[in-house]
């Protein structure tokens, strides 16, 4: 398996391999005696998919990944023209602690092939996929970043400069205490040097922005957002909630990520623009958390897409949605929790960083780790989660069969979350006024595993027990293998 096939769409390759490998599936799938045994298997299947996503697939993906030294030898052997040193610095948030602003800085130093060959691109895409995609600038540029070579031991010096707003911080520099690691990554809490930055609270105005440039690279520009200790932070997933990805349809998912311009999902930019305009000053009466909400809004985009693809995601977000900080999947496998549970780790970090802020969490049902982690944060940080908004993907995409579990929501107050179908369902919700739901939209939630063919898993199990025609007419082994393959793709985007 090629190295970046694993990092980007390696899990997608499981779709074809699993479908073709039906004879090698566990005996439980090959030796079913009756539909009662099958119904028991089906009942446990969605949980097994998510267990694989959360715990097991990574070990399989990276078993045959060549190391960076071998990748470098391949590129030299192919005469690849490499870029100069490039440094990615993700847009960061900063909190005010001990009379100083402290920013969470994360990025990567690397070089990359400027014009990947068809052979190099084919190593990333599933077998035969390149022949079905017309090579264009998007495909070339995207795969160029996926084929990057991490640069270890790079000294990272950041220049901070505030342009406009309160404070007169001017321009200050800081060199990170540690150089980039073996994956080219750097990850530090950095205290903004000098004086003159806005004080905590920012006077109730908008979140202040500090421009960041990186010495030694002309592509390392970024932003630090000085987030007051009180206010509203909107944490949002990206794939299939802000942009059209279609992870449940592997060929479309590849095209929409590698070779097509990124497109917003319906009129979702209008919803975020409306939220951006909301004044977060004052007190929200009757909010779901029964607490007041004061201070400005802060937007944070949390995606578990590998960080090599983050430049494309950031360009898309900033062209269509409010500016904000970013978290992506790190590559440093020395931190198992952050690598295998990146969303939960990132959520816990931002909740701990801003204990007085209220949070709106936005996701979709193809992303079960968001569906399950959001209520977990509400339980772990009582009073911090103002609202959870989950897109019901199957309402507009009947071909989606990725299962999700709504059981954790049974423990939450009904007014603190909403499952919605289209962006219009969210129009008019004002968080400042304590709102979380659009009461004109019906979202009757049945607690338990949802999704799969024909509606809820309970419905399908009932059909299995009754020998239903729809079940008898499909190949369960083939469908199960396909589902597991789709779940493998979902791993890289959830």
Beta-bridged to residue 171, according to DSSP, are 161
H or E stretch at 29: helix 27-30
Alpha-carbon distance 9 to 125, whole Å?
A: 7
Q: Strands, DSSP E only, in 266-378?
A: 297-306, 325-329, 358-364
**Which pLDDT score is estimated for 340?**
65
State the residue for tokens 């909107």: 234
**Which pLDDT score is estimated for 371?**
94
**Which pLDDT score is estimated for 206?**
77
Alpha-carbon distance 247 to 483, whole Å?
A: 12
Q: What is the pTM of this model?
A: 0.80
Which stretches in the chain have pLDDT values below 50?
1-42, 50-66, 202-203, 280-291, 333-334, 457, 460-461, 464-465, 467-494
CA atoms within 13 A on the CB side of 12: 26
Taking only the tens place, the pLDDT of each residue in 305-361 is 888 889 999 999 999 999 999 999 876 544 555 666 889 999 999 999 999 999 999
**Which pLDDT score is estimated for 42?**
46
Alpha-carbon distance 446 to 405, whole Å?
A: 10
Alpha-carbon distance 160 to 54, whole Å?
A: 37
**Which pLDDT score is estimated for 143?**
85
Domains and CATH numbers, the chain: 82-112+149-228 (2.60.40)
- N-to-C CA span, the chain: 22
- DSSP SS3 for 2: coil
Alpha-carbon distance 331 to 328, whole Å?
A: 10
| CB 12 within 8 Å of CB 18 | no
**Which pLDDT score is estimated for 471?**
38
Per-residue buried b or exposed e for 438-467, using 16+ beta carbons within 10 Å of the residue's own CB: beeeebeeeeebbbbeeebbebbbebbeee
**Which pLDDT score is estimated for 201?**
54
**Which pLDDT score is estimated for 197?**
84
| CB 439 within 8 Å of CB 422 | no
Beta-bridged to residue 297, according to DSSP, are 232
Beta-bridged to residue 232, according to DSSP, are 297, 358
């Amino acid at each position: 398996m090629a190295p970046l096939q694993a990092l980007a769409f390696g899990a997608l390759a499981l779709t074809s391999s699993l479908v073709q490998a039906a004879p090698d599936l566990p005996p439980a799938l090959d030796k079913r005696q009756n539909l009662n045994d099958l119904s028991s298997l089906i009942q446990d299947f969605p949980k097994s998919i998510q267990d694989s996503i959360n715990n097991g697939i990574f070990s399989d993906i990276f078993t045959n990944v060549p190391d960076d030294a071998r990748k470098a030898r391949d590129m030299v052997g192919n005469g690849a023209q490499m870029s100069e040193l490039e440094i990615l610095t993700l847009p960061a948030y900063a909190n005010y602690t001990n009379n100083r602003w402290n920013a969470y800085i994360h990025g990567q130093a690397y070089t990359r092939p400027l014009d990947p060959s068809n052979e190099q691109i084919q190593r990333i895409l599933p077998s035969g996929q390149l022949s079905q995609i017309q090579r264009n600038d998007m495909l070339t540029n995207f795969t160029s970043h996926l084929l990057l070579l991490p640069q270890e031991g790079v000294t990272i010096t950041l220049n901070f400069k505030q342009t406009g707003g309160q404070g007169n911080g001017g321009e200050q520099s800081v060199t990170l205490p540690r150089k980039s690691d073996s994956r080219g990554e750097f990850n530090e809490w950095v205290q903004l040097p000098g004086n003159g930055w806005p004080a905590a609270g920012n006077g109730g105005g908008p979140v202040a922005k500090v421009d960041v440039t990186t010495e030694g690279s002309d592509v390392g520009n970024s932003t630090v957002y000085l987030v007051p200790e009180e206010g509203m932070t909107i944490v949002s997933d990206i794939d299939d909630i802000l942009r059209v990805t279609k992870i449940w349809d592997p060929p479309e998912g590849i095209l929409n990520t590698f070779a097509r311009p990124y497109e917003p999902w319906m009129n979702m930019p209008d919803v975020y623009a409306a939220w951006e305009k909301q004044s977060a000053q004052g007190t929200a009466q009757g909010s779901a958390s029964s607490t007041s909400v004061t201070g400005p809004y802060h937007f944070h985009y949390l995606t578990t897409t590998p960080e090599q693809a983050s430049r494309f995601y950031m360009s898309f977000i900033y062209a269509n949605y409010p500016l904000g900080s970013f978290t992506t999947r790190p590559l440093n496998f020395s931190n198992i929790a952050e690598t295998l549970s990146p969303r939960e780790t990132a959520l816990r970090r931002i909740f701990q960083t801003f204990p007085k802020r209220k949070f709106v969490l936005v996701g979709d049902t193809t992303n079960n780790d968001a569906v399950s982690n959001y209520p977990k944060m509400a339980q772990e940080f009582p009073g911090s989660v103002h609202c959870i908004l989950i897109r019901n993907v199957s309402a507009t995409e009947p071909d989606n069969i990725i299962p999700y579990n709504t059981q954790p929501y049974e423990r939450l107050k009904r007014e603190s979350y909403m499952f919605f179908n289209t962006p219009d369902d969210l129009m008019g919700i004002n968080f400042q006024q304590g709102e979380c739901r659009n009461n004109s939209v019906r979202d009757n939630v049945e607690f338990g595993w949802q999704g799969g063919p024909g509606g809820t898993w309970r419905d399908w199990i009932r059909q299995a027990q009754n020998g239903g025609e729809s079940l008898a007419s499909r190949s369960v082994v083939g469908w199960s293998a396909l589902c597991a393959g789709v779940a493998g793709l979902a791993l890289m985007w959830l």
